[in-house]
């Protein structure tokens, strides 16, 4: 699901107006695919991923593997 979400996120984010956006709350964010794509496109965005406690360790792994841990 993560890799499919990454592909979808990179396409969908092009349709968003991110002007003035600095913070994002990703509710049910799972692997953080959409949050990571936002952070890659717009460096000043800070994303907070909210999900079930058993999901968050996986989320942190994906964020770390993407080299975005400094933003967590």
Give me the domains of the chain, ranges plus CATH numbers. Answer: 2-71 (3.40.50.150)
pLDDT at 72: 43
Radius of gyration of the CA atoms of the chain, in A? 11
Task: Name the nearest CA neighbour of 38 among 24, 50, 52.
Answer: 24
Residue-level pLDDT at 3? 80
Nearest-angstrom CA–CA distance, 70 and 56? 16
More confident residue, 59 or 2: 59
Q: Does 7 score more than 70 pLDDT?
A: yes
Q: Which residue has the higher pLDDT, 5 or 50?
A: 50
Write the pLDDT tens digit of every residue in 19-61.
999 999 999 999 999 999 998 888 899 999 999 999 999 999 9
The pTM of the full predicted model, rounded to 2 decimals, is: 0.81
């Amino acid at each position: 699901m993560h890799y499919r979400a990454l592909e979808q996120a990179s396409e969908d984010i092009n349709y968003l107006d991110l002007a003035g956006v600095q913070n994002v709350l990703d509710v049910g964010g799972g692997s953080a695919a959409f949050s990571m794509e936002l952070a890659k496109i717009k460096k000043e965005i800070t994303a907070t991923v909210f999900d079930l406690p058993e999901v968050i360790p996986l989320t942190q792994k994906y964020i770390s593997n993407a080299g975005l841990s400094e933003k967590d």
